[in-house]
Structure 1
Amino acid sequence: MYTNRTKLKVRYVETDKMGIVHHSNYYAWFEVGRGEFILESGMSYRELEENGIMMPLRETYCKYIKGAKYEDNIIIETFIKELTPVKVIFNYNVIREEDGKLLAKGATTQVFVNNDFKIINLKRKYPDIWERMHKLFT
């Protein structure tokens, strides 16, 4: 199973009055990690959408363990927990690079839909794209 490791540095704008990263930013980081993960399959989100494939969120989850702070170097680990022809579940670990501490972990569930937002069977309709994603899952 492939795990993408995306490195980021916490920006001041991402922190709150308490000096820690505001909880909403973790979802933006998940999206960055997911985008980089998709790139590893040999395509981009833009290419998926140009082919008529969209991946709207159906469910999100984040458990906050320890707060990230301004200028922390963090790593977003992204991997596929579950892949079916109609949905994908990505898992994420947010790790502080300096000490390896797990700061947060989360998941997003996305469905494969066409431009009319009707669920599609990715394996049947786009077997080449399915194969690229499946290769990163197994």
Structure 2
Amino acid sequence: MLISETTVEVRYAETDQMGVVYHANYLVWMELGRTSFIKDLGYSYAKMEEDGIISPVIDIQASYKKSMRYGEKATVKTWVEEYDGFRVKYGYEILNEAGELSVTGFSVHVCVKKENFRPISIKRMYPDWHESYLKASKKAD
């Protein structure tokens, strides 16, 4: 199973009045992790969008374990939890500098045509990407 790692520096603007990272920012970091994961496989969301395909979130979940603060560095670990040729479920762990778990979560995506939001088969439209997801997924272990 491929696990991509992305480092994020906690910026002041990402914190709330209590000095901790505002919860919605972890979802943004998940997106950064997902984009890095795809790059690590040799593909690009931007290229897919040039083809008229987008990948909306259809489900997302985050469990908060330990607060992070301004000035810390977060490590976002991202992998393919499940993949069926249409839907991709990405798993995430966000750790603080001490390696302690701050957030766990997942997001589920489908690929659709931008013009009409009709789902497409990743397997048919992007066969190389499909094969890479099969090899990189948790089930491949």
TM-score tier by shorter-chain length is over 0.9
Corresponding residue of 2:113 = 114
* Unpaired runs of at least 5, structure 2: none
Moved over 3 A (4+): none
Q: Does 1:56 align with 2:56?
A: yes
Corresponding residue of 2:13 = 13
Q: Deviations over 1:39-62 (max 9, x none)?
A: 011121101112232110001100
Task: Report % sequence identity.
Answer: 36
1:127 Cα deviation from its structure 2 partner: 1.2
Instruction: Please tell me the residue identity of whatever aligns with 2:89.
Output: I
Corresponding residue of 1:46 = 46
Normalised TM-score (structure 1): 0.94
Q: How far apart, CA to CA, are the structure 1 residues paired with 2:69 and 2:126?
A: 42
Q: How far apart, CA to CA, are the structure 2 residues paired with 1:48 and 1:40?
A: 15
Aligned length: 137
Q: Does 1:104 align with 2:103?
A: yes
1:124 Cα deviation from its structure 2 partner: 2.0
Normalised TM-score (structure 2): 0.92
* Unpaired runs of at least 5, structure 1: none
Q: Deviations over 1:94-137 (max 9, x none)?
A: 1012x111001111000121222101111123212212333322
Q: How far apart, CA to CA, are the structure 1 residues paired with 2:22 and 2:56?
A: 23
Corresponding residue of 1:127 = 127
Please tell me the root mean square deviation across aligned C-alpha atoms, in Å. Answer: 1.1
Instruction: Please tell me the residue identity of whatever aligns with 1:112.
Output: C
Q: How far apart, CA to CA, are the structure 2 residues paired with 1:114 and 1:38?
A: 19
Q: How far apart, CA to CA, are the structure 2 residues paired with 1:49 and 1:63?
A: 30
